[in-house]
């Protein structure tokens, strides 16, 4: 834009690393690293990765064609099988949230706005390059409506049709057809064929990554915790864009270190630190506001039910016959049946999963994050709160967005919540002892 002022004083283009956007990431990263003691050494890779990608704006390299995904419901194994690389586009930056505000009504999900804002900007961070295709599963309304907006920005968008009901056999078959259709689309895009070998290799890639994740997940069962939730979120967030094989190796290295910590009886937190289960709208870097507030206040996030971490990596495919058809169908099943996304008509499975997580991870309470404008999570609040109430588990419901403005107020609420959990714990122990 040229106006009168810039004619007089030419505005120098500022390098990305000095921009406000990079500053946002820089702040959060410094916070994650410097405000906590005893960070695992193997986390250094992830800290460096985020610094390079988000703070310096370094380019992310990938193999073959690039397929952007706007949701975990897009079967990434298929994308790998066609020699392309999937890249999750869901964005967590406040900078892009503001940029994307023009596309959506004022009270809409920050995540969707930020993703649109990112895709609409000239300098996309993470610097992945222009996707050859964006696959947009038709999940919540806001993501659905983003489809045409992304199309208008000049992206090639594929709507992956996703059912609203998951219990019925009809929806299962509809979704299986949908996934097969997606395979056909990928074949046209890449000009390659879907082979048993290619698909098997893709299964091995994600299977090994998932096995590593499950192992990592299992270390969180330990009480007192040996790793903090902020690090786990960083690790799973890296899965969005990092090379999958390298990611897996780094997680395996982290697991080795955690095993050593376990043997040594290491404690990352005090024994009485309240253990928190995190659920709801996904924390995506740099918006790790809520998990960080919890852990700064002396709590520890021991498990989560969110699509930027546990839900993305936990559930695994089972194949009966290792042939292309059965493998594709099993993929479809994996991406539909265990999903606890609130976009479905019923949420029994989500409630059961949450209660099971509380039990197995020995959580003292639950923090439920709902992004303002994420209607489905807001609507499920009532029934989830009721389920926890019945089970006698305290829950804090937090409606927030990417803006840092409510940090002070949230910090007070979280501290009070953690304090009440500590008291409950004490009372329980007294009653027992």
Partner 1 sequence: MTNLEHIRTAVNNVQFNRFRFWLQIFFFALLVYGGYLGIELGKHLPTFACGYNKELRGGMCFLMPLQHWMEWPWEKLFSAAALTILYGFAIFFLWFIALNRGWCGFACPVGTIQDWITSLRRWTGIRYSRYSEGQYKGLGIIKWVLLALMFLIPLGIGGGWFTHDLKSPFCMICPGRTVVPLFGLDVSQWSIDFSSRTNMIMTSLGLLVTGLFFIGAFVKKRFFCFYCPMGALHYLFSKAALLRLNKEGAKCTRCGDCYRVCDLQIKEIADDIQNKNIMTDDCIMCLKCVAACPEPGALKATFAGIPIFEATEAGFIKRMNKGRTDDK
Residues at the interface with partner 1 (CB under 8 A): 167, 169-170, 172, 201, 203-205, 207-208, 210-211, 214, 218, 245, 315-321, 323, 325-326, 329-330, 333-334, 336-338, 349, 352-353, 355-356, 359
Q: How far is the CB of 333 from partner 1 (least distance, A)?
A: 5
∠ at Cα 166 (213, 203), nearest 5°? 35
Distance CA 360, CA 315 (A): 17
Cα R_g (the chain), whole angstroms:
22
Distance CA 261, CA 371 (A): 35
Q: Which is nearer to partner 1, 196 or 426 (CB)?
A: 196
Alpha-carbon torsion 166, 168, 171, 172, what sign? positive
CB of 163 to partner 1, least distance (A): 14
- Helix, strand, coil abundance in the chain, percent, nearest 5: 55, 10, 35
- Nearer to partner 1 by Cβ, of 228 and 309: the residue is 309
Gap between the Cα atoms of 334 and 176, Å rounded: 10
Spatial CA neighbour of 57 closest among 99, 102, 14: 14
Q: Specify the residue, 230 or 353, whose C-beta has the smaller distance to partner 1.
A: 353
Q: Which CA distances in Å does 285 have to 189, 302, 308, 388?
A: 30, 18, 10, 28
How many other C-beta atoms lie within 10 A of the C-beta of residue 361? 20
86 C-beta neighbours (distance < 10 Å), count: 23
**Closer residue to partner 1 in complex, CB, 91/310:** 310
Identify which of residues 53 and 216 has a Cβ nearer to partner 1 in the complex: 216
Minimum CB–partner distance for residue 314 and partner 1 (Å): 8
| Cis bond upstream, residue 308 (ω within 30) | no
- Shortest Å distance, C-beta 359 to partner 1: 8
Shortest CB 391 distance to partner 1, Å: 11
Of 115 and 210, the one with the shorter C-beta distance to partner 1 is 210
Q: Tokens 């940090």 appear where? A: 407
| Closer by beta carbon to partner 1, 36 or else 314 | 314
Give the SS3 label for residue 225: coil
Q: Which residues contact 377 (CB under 8 A, 6 or more apart)?
A: 280, 281, 342, 368, 369, 370, 371
Q: Is residue 151 reached through a cis peptide bond, with omega within 30 degrees of 0 on the bond before it?
A: no
CA distance 376 to 368: 13
Looking at the Cβ atoms of 115 and 171, the one nearer to partner 1 is 171
Query: Which of 303, 323, 300, 301 is CA-nearest to residue 313?
Result: 303
User: Between 41 and 259, whose beta carbon lies closer to partner 1?
Assistant: 259
Tell me phi and psi for residue 61, to 5 degrees.
-90, 150
State the minimum distance, in angstroms, from the CB of residue 200 to partner 1.
8
Peptide bond into 50 cis (omega under 30): no
| Shortest CB 373 distance to partner 1, Å | 28
Task: Report the nearest approach of partner 1 to the CB of residue 315 (Å).
Answer: 5
CB of 311 to partner 1, least distance (A): 10
Phi and psi at residue 262, in whole multiples of 5°? -65, -45
> Minimum CB separation from partner 1 for residue 253, in Å?
14
User: Pairing between strand 85-88 and 133-137?
Assistant: unpaired
CB closer to partner 1 out of 322 and 379:
322
């Amino acid at each position: 834009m040229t106006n009168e002022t810039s004619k007089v004083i030419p505005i120098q283009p500022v390098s990305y690393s000095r921009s406000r956007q990079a500053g946002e990431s820089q702040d959060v990263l410094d916070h994650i690293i410097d405000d906590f003691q005893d960070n695992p050494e193997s986390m250094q890779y992830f800290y460096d990765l985020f610094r390079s990608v988000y703070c310096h704006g370094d380019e992310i390299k990938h193999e073959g064609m690039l397929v952007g995904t706007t949701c975990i419901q897009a079967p990434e194994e298929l994308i790998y099988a066609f020699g392309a690389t999937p890249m999750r586009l869901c964005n967590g930056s406040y900078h892009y949230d503001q940029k994307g505000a023009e596309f959506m009504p004022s009270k809409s999900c920050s995540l969707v706005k930020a993703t649109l804002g990112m895709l609409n900007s000239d300098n996309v961070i993470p610097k992945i390059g222009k996707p050859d295709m964006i696959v947009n599963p038709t999940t919540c309304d806001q993501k659905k409506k983003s489809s045409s907006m992304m199309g208008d920005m000049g992206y090639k968008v594929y709507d992956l049709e996703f059912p609203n009901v998951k219990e019925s056999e009809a929806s299962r078959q509809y979704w299986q057809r949908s996934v097969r259709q997606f395979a056909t689309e990928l074949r046209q895009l890449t000009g390659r064929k879907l082979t048993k070998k290619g698909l098997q290799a893709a299964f091995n890639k994600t299977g090994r990554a998932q096995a590593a994740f499950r192992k990592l997940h299992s270390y969180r069962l330990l009480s007192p915790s040996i790793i903090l939730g902020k690090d786990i979120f960083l690790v799973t967030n890296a899965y969005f864009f990092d090379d999958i094989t390298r990611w897996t190796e780094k997680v395996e290295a982290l697991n080795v270190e955690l095993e050593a910590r376990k043997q040594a009886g290491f404690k990352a937190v005090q024994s009485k630190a309240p253990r928190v289960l995190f659920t709801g709208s996904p924390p995506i870097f740099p918006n790790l506001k809520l998990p960080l507030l919890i852990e700064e206040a002396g709590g520890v996030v021991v498990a989560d039910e969110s699509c930027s971490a546990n839900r993305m990596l936990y559930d695994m495919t089972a194949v009966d016959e290792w042939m292309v058809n059965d493998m594709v169908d099993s993929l479809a099943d994996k991406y539909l049946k265990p999903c606890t996304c609130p976009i479905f008509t019923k949420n029994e499975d989500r409630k059961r999963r949450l209660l099971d997580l509380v039990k197995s991870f020995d959580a003292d309470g639950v923090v439920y994050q709902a992004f303002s404008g994420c209607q489905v999570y807001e609507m499920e609040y009532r029934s989830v709160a009721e389920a926890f109430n019945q089970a006698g588990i305290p829950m804090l419901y937090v409606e927030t967005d990417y803006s840092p403005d409510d940090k002070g107020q949230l910090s007070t609420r979280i501290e009070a919540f953690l304090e009440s959990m500590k008291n409950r714990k004490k009372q329980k122990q007294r009653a027992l002892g």
